Amino acid sequence: MYSTLLIIHSLTRWLVLAFLVYSICSAFVGYTRDKRFSKADNAFRHWTATVSHIQLMIGIILYTQSPIVNYFWAKTESGLHQLELTFYGLIHMVLMLLSVVLITIGSALAKRRLTDREKFKTMFVWFSIAFIIILIAIPWPFSPLSSRPNFRMF
pLDDT-derived band at 142 (thresholds 50, 70, 90) equals confident
Can you give the pTM of this predicted structure?
A: 0.89
> Cα separation of 21 and 35, whole Å?
18
Q: 49 Cβ partners below 8 Å, 6+ apart?
A: 103, 104, 107
CA-based nearest residue to 69, from 5, 14, 59, 135: 59
- Sequence-separated (6 or more) residues with CB below 8 Å from residue 87: 139, 145, 146
Q: Are 48 and 105 in contact (CB under 8 A)?
A: no
Angle of CA points 47, 34, 118, to nearest 5°: 60
99-115 in b/e form (b: 16+ CB < 10 A) is bbebbbebbeebeeeee
The three-class DSSP label of residue 13 is helix
Provide the b/e sequence for 57-94 (b: ≥16 CB within 10 Å): ebbeebbeebebbebbeeeeeebeeeeebbbbbbbbbe
Give yes or no for residue 52 having a pLDDT over 70: yes
- Cβ(129)–Cβ(23) under 8 Å? no
Q: Which residue type, as a one-letter code, is found at position 92?
A: H
pLDDT in tens, 65-124: 999 899 999 998 888 888 888 999 999 999 999 999 999 999 999 999 999 999 999 999
pLDDT reading at 154 higher than 60: no
